[in-house]
Structures are given as C-alpha cells and as structure tokens.
C-alpha cells in the first residue's frame, strides 16, 4: 500500500487518466463539452482538499508559542471546518470549538483554525479529527487541559444511505482537567452553547 507521500508522486496525467476512466465507467462521455476538462479540475480540487498531508501541524504550532502567566480558559469557537469522509470520499462540514487552560504557554489564536485546517484537509473520520486536534495542542504546550468539540453534517448520510437531511454528529475529546473536572468541562460546554459572541 502506498504511503500518502508516495501517492502524491502520481503524475498529473496518471491522476487525470484515473478520473477519465471513472467518467467512462459511470456511463458518461469524457469527450462531451462539459466533461473534457473535468479530470484536470478534479485533480486540482483533490490536491487542495487533501493538502493537509503535505503540512506539518507540530512545526506550524512551534512558530507561534508564547510564554504567559495567564491561566484562565482560552476558547476559540465556531471555526468552520470542511473535510472528506475517508469511507466514501464525500464531504462533511461543520463547526469546531477548542478550549485549553494554559500552563505557562499559549498558542497564537490564529494558529488554532490553521491547525484545524491542516487535519481537516485529509481523508478523515470525525472522531479521529477531534482527537488529533486535542492531542496536538496537548503535546505542543502541555496545558492543564484541552477540550475539543466538533458538530458536523455528513453528506454520506444526507445524500445516500439513510438520507437523513437534518442529522448532525457531535464528537468531543477532553484531556487533562477537562476530563477530570466536571466544573471545567461544564464551563466549556456552556460557553460554546452560547452562540452570541458579543462582537
């Protein structure tokens, strides 16, 4: 089985040939006007949608760590997320809420959405995405605790299979004091439920 790095070495021609073959197998004419450039477009789209494989989340965070005495909860909520389900390669999308309590270091606020972007631009399942975000923050700054909640809608459920149009999946990863202390966890969940951010 090819690693992501090995798979990335496929030439554009090879990728586009595969897309063209898929079009044929679906019963379409790849020479039809609307489909002539589809293999090229699909190739570019998937390069963008999976660019997270070519980015290093740990290295990105290391450039934005700051020493502080602040020890209250830091929350970045309602971060838009788009990813591809690894089972059907159909999109899932929603909001990510991240909180941590510093232990001497904080992460530049803009880097948390960036971290979410790196992990979501891969073939994913929502459960893994949730834990990857939490564990990477935990490893980067060793805070007192980290909490991550993702609320997402999955097109593999909405467009096919059970075809439930209004269903959403909610996953969470709680580390450190967010797992051990009910009061901390409750404060986080209460704050992300309040959709008014006062801005």
Active site residues: 85-88, 126, 154, 156
Residue 173 CB contacts under 8 Å (≥ 6 apart), including other chains: 130, 131, 133, 134, 135, 146, 147, 148
Partner residues linked to 147 by β-bridges? 99, 174
SS (H, E, C) the chain: CCCHHHHCCCCHHHHHHHHHHHHHHCCCCCCCCCCCCHHHHHHHHHHHHCHHHHCCHHHHHHCCEEECCCCCCEEEEEEEEEEEECCCCCEEEEEEEEEEECCCEEECCCHHHHHHHHHHCCEECHHHHHHHHHHHHHHHHCCCEEEEEEEEEEHHHHCCCCCCCCCCEEEEEEEEHHHHCHHHHHHHHHHHHCCCCCC
Distance between CA atoms of residues 70 and 72, nearest Å? 6
- In total, the chain counts a number of residues equal to 199
């Amino acid at each position: 089985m090819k690693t992501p790095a090995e798979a990335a070495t496929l030439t554009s021609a090879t990728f586009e040939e595969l897309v063209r073959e898929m079009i044929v197998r679906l019963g379409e004419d790849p020479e039809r006007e609307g489909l002539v450039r589809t293999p090229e477009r699909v190739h570019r789209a998937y390069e963008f949608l999976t660019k997270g494989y070519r980015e290093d989340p740990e290295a990105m965070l290391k450039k934005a760590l700051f020493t502080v005495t602040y020890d209250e909860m830091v929350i970045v909520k309602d971060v838009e997320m788009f990813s591809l389900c690894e089972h059907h390669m159909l999109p899932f999308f929603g909001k990510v809420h991240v909180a941590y309590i510093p232990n001497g270091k904080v992460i530049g606020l803009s880097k948390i959405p960036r971290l979410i972007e790196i992990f979501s631009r891969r073939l994913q399942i929502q459960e893994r995405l949730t834990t990857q975000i939490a564990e990477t923050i935990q490893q980067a700054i060793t805070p007192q605790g980290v909490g991550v909640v993702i609320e997402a809608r999955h097109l593999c459920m909405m467009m096919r299979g059970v075809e439930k149009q209004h269903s959403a999946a909610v996953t969470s990863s709680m580390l450190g004091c967010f797992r051990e202390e009910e009061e901390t966890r409750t404060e986080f969940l209460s704050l992300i439920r309040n959709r008014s951010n006062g801005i």
